[in-house]
Amino acid sequence: MDLREALQNRTLIGDGAMGTLLYSYGIDRCFEELNLSHSEEVLNVHRAYVNAGADVIQTNTYGANYIKLERYGLQDQVKEINTAAVKLAKQAAGENQYVVGTIGGVRGARKQAISTEEIKRSFREQLYCLLFEQVDGLLLETFYDLEELTTVLKIARKETELPIIAQVSMHEAGVLQDGTPLPDALKQLEGLGADVVGVNCRLGPYHTIQSLEEVPLPEKAVLSAYPNASLPAYQDGRLVYPTDPAYFQKSAQSLYEQGARLIGGCCGTTPEHIEAIAARVKGRSPIQDKVVPIKEKAEVRVSETKDDRPHLHEKAKKGRSIIVELDPPKKLKTERFLEGAKALHEAGVDSVTLADNSLASPRISNTAMASIIKQQYGVDPLVHIACRDRNLLGLQSHLMGLHALGIRQLLAVTGDPTKIGDFPGATSVYDLNSFDLIHYIKQMNKGISFSGKNLGESTSFSVAAAFNPNVRNLNRAVGRLEKKIKYGADYFISQPVFNEKQIIEVYEATKHIDAPIYIGIMPLTSARNAEFLHNEVPGITLAPEVLEKMELAGSDKEQAQAEGISISKSLIDTALDLFNGIYLITPFLRYEMTVELTNYIKQQTAERERKMANGIHIV
């Protein structure tokens, strides 16, 4: 009898965790490779689940794809591992068991880390291996990213008529990490040809039941549920799942009542859990009707920020806009920094930008300093956020805190690695990169957390992205801009440029991009400063003529600073004709230099407007 037909007539029992049992045997390595090196242990696990009452046995191939096996140097053994896995599962299964080929999700929180094309190639390779061994069906499980699951489901449905089970995983009950409600996701999977749609992993029975309460019975497909044993506890350096199998038996009844026709277990479950499920619901006729309570849609309140000033990208689209970077101090004295912020605000800059421990060197928290200058001087601060120092939990918490402080302007950057900074032995986190961070900030602007949970209120962040024109291949750098726009970037802030020709080249290469670009200009302070920037700071390249001019200024500090200002004014003259946004970078807290340049920009802008007005009047 076909698996689909069996599910029409009775409730089937799935198996439980493979890795949990293997780990309990003291095996801590690539579990899929064990199909080759420790086949007897894998076979024993399958047999244990068959003896416990499982009707559906999944192959030990969750991570047996090129992408995941590459971590262990096993990418060339995809065929051997998958082939062995199917044979072991079939050897354990009797006439009454179905063997489904398992393929697990690849993406986590970082969508950008693995391209769709890579996923397709890897999936096809594993799929063909499983189909060649004539499995009874396919199990696509633990997919947090709905886009990834729909992509591979389309491929699988095109390649085979076998039954397909498609299961999503959730961080929060009832909703996927992109905010898609579970009922909508399962309906979409059903529409793409999945025969069984459901959930597995991450959540224990309680939240799995809670999630399914909102899911109506599918029109064509049937429901499945493979919850974890519980939420894990951390004991003696290990994650353990303390759930009593008796609780699982009780939960199986509730899952059955929510319409699940295929019920198994995921992380932390053992043959004892599966035996408990089988004792309660195995073979029972599936429910045919289900009443889904009408649930009021949770409202997402629009941010009630009192700051009605336009965002920086809005200003730069309409006219001249000036932002100035003033990095927080490396020491605890803040007087000079606060003097500079006040002076720049009085000079009329649109925002003071604050880097997030640039070059991986610790400074006073830019959030703290941004909050102070906002409260004391009315500055609209632009806060940089680096992915280097915070994990997913810390990044979301940080963004929520910025929202609570009324800070709306952000620059999302990946961040310099710690090995180049003051603490080369410190850990660089990089749960996300700048592309992913932009995406998640924009998700919060919809009132959705990183995990898909309703935040109750939408944030109102304007998101800038970094642009480095100081590269050999400018077109490639522009390609990154275009990609960042797709992820949600509102505008760009460039690394400093140091010659007029380069400004023109940047304009020509980016003039097709609608998002504003703030062109970076940083006044030099000495010949040594110029040499250091040119030779040692990543992403900055000075033209030979600029280095020569600073060298000619000699050791006279005032003359060198005047030369640096002169070079910057020349660059500004060119930039004003091509870009609305000007980004000034203050060197060494010498805010007098950027105040002078701010005044110069305003004077030149006013002069240009006057000439334009006169020209129009004459015509």
User: Distances from the Cα of 472 to the Cαs of 468, 479, 542, in angstroms?
Assistant: 11, 13, 13
Quickly state the pLDDT bin for 614 (edges 50, 70, 90): confident
Assigned domain for 84 exists: yes
Mean pLDDT over 94-103 rounds to 96
Assigned domain for 322 exists: yes
Assigned domain for 327 exists: yes
| pLDDT recorded at residue 25 | 59
Residue 507 has pLDDT above 50, yes or no: yes
Task: Examine the domain organization and report whether 240 and 121 are in the same domain.
Answer: yes
Query: Binding residue per annotation — 387?
Result: no
Residue 296 has pLDDT above 90, yes or no: no
Task: Examine the domain organization and report whether 273 and 335 are in the same domain.
Answer: no
Assigned domain for 389 exists: yes
3-state DSSP assignment of residue 323: strand
Query: Binding residue per annotation — 267?
Result: yes
Task: Examine the domain organization and report whether 500 and 414 are in the same domain.
Answer: yes
Beginning with the edge strand found earlier in the chain, give each strand of the sheet holding 12-13 in spatial order: 12-13, 260-263, 222-226, 196-200, 164-168, 137-143, 98-104, 56-58
Return the residue matching tokens 């390609």: 479
Residue 168 has pLDDT above 60, yes or no: yes
Residue 574 has pLDDT above 80, yes or no: yes
Nearest to 588 by CA among 540, 515, 531, 529: 529
Residue 81 has pLDDT above 90, yes or no: yes
Residue 572 has pLDDT above 50, yes or no: yes
Domains identified in the chain, total number: 2
Contact (Cβ atoms closer than 8 angstroms) between residue 139 and residue 165? yes
Quickly state the pLDDT bin for 105 (edges 50, 70, 90): very high
In whole angstroms, give the CA distance from residue 151 to residue 157.
10
| pLDDT recorded at residue 100 | 98
Q: What percent of the chain has pLDDT over 70?
A: 95
Contact (Cβ atoms closer than 8 angstroms) between residue 252 and residue 277? yes
Task: Examine the domain organization and report whether 321 and 256 are in the same domain.
Answer: no
Mean pLDDT over 423-447 rounds to 95
In whole angstroms, give the CA distance from residue 610 to residue 608.
5
Structure tokens at 418: 């710690």
| pLDDT recorded at residue 253 | 97
Check residue 224 and give left, alpha or beta (phi > 0: left; psi -120 to 50: alpha).
beta
User: Distances from the Cα of 88 to the Cαs of 28, 37, 61, 272, 521, in angstroms?
Assistant: 20, 12, 11, 21, 65
| pLDDT recorded at residue 541 | 78
Task: Examine the domain organization and report whether 260 and 335 are in the same domain.
Answer: no
Task: Examine the domain organization and report whether 335 and 207 are in the same domain.
Answer: no
Q: Which CATH number covers residue 409?
A: 3.20.20.220
Assigned domain for 393 exists: yes
Q: Which CATH number covers residue 182?
A: 3.20.20.330
Residue 619 has pLDDT above 60, yes or no: no
Task: Examine the domain organization and report whether 259 and 334 are in the same domain.
Answer: no
| pLDDT recorded at residue 255 | 98
CA 568 from centroid of its chain's CA atoms: 37
Contact (Cβ atoms closer than 8 angstroms) between residue 124 and residue 83? no
CA 332 from centroid of its chain's CA atoms: 33
User: Distances from the Cα of 75 to the Cαs of 28, 32, 85, 235, 364, in angstroms?
Assistant: 19, 12, 16, 33, 45
Domain limits for position 346:
316-529+565-614
SS3 of 456-468: CECCCCEEEEEEC
Q: What percent of the chain has pLDDT over 90?
A: 84
| pLDDT recorded at residue 200 | 97
What would the pLDDT profile of 468-482 be if each residue is shown by its tens digit?
Answer: 998 889 999 999 999
Quickly state the pLDDT bin for 539 (edges 50, 70, 90): low
| pLDDT recorded at residue 298 | 65
Residue 431 has phi, psi (to 5 degrees) of -60, -30
| Higher pLDDT among residues 1 and 271, named by residue | 271
Q: Which of 18-22, 289-293, 360-364, 530-534 has the highest mean pLDDT?
A: 360-364
Contact (Cβ atoms closer than 8 angstroms) between residue 60 and residue 17? no
3-state DSSP assignment of residue 343: helix
What would the pLDDT profile of 356-402 be if each residue is shown by its tens digit?
Answer: 999 899 999 999 999 999 999 999 999 999 999 999 999 999 999 99
pLDDT averaged over every residue in the chain: 93
Task: Examine the domain organization and report whether 257 and 325 are in the same domain.
Answer: no
| pLDDT recorded at residue 22 | 76
In whole angstroms, give the CA distance from residue 608 to residue 320.
11
Assigned domain for 289 exists: no
Quickly state the pLDDT bin for 294 (edges 50, 70, 90): confident
Structure tokens at 173: 């009950």
Mean pLDDT over 6-10 rounds to 96
Query: Binding residue per annotation — 266?
Result: yes
First to last CA, the chain: 87
- Picking from 262, 281, 300, the residue at the C-terminal end of a domain is 281
Picking from 25-29, 35-39, 421-425, which range would have the lowest pLDDT averaged per residue?
A: 25-29
In whole angstroms, give the CA distance from residue 295 to residue 280.
29
Identity at 303, one-letter amino acid code: S
Assigned domain for 387 exists: yes
Assigned domain for 231 exists: yes
| pLDDT recorded at residue 178 | 93
Structure tokens at 573: 């003259």
3-state DSSP assignment of residue 366: helix
| pLDDT recorded at residue 231 | 72
What would the pLDDT profile of 236-254 be if each residue is shown by its tens digit?
Answer: 666 667 778 899 999 999 9
DSSP labels, 225-254: EE--SSS-EEETTEEE----HHHHHHHHHH
Q: Which helix (H) or strand (E) holds 206?
A: helix 205-212
Task: Examine the domain organization and report whether 235 and 330 are in the same domain.
Answer: no
Task: Examine the domain organization and report whether 327 and 244 are in the same domain.
Answer: no
Residue 617 has pLDDT above 50, yes or no: no
Task: Examine the domain organization and report whether 45 and 160 are in the same domain.
Answer: yes
Residue 542 has pLDDT above 90, yes or no: no
426-437 burial string, b = 16+ CB within 10 Å, else e? eebbbbbbbbbb
CA 556 from centroid of its chain's CA atoms: 49
Task: Examine the domain organization and report whether 353 and 206 are in the same domain.
Answer: no
DSSP labels, 29-45: S-GGGHHHHSHHHHHHH
| pLDDT recorded at residue 29 | 75
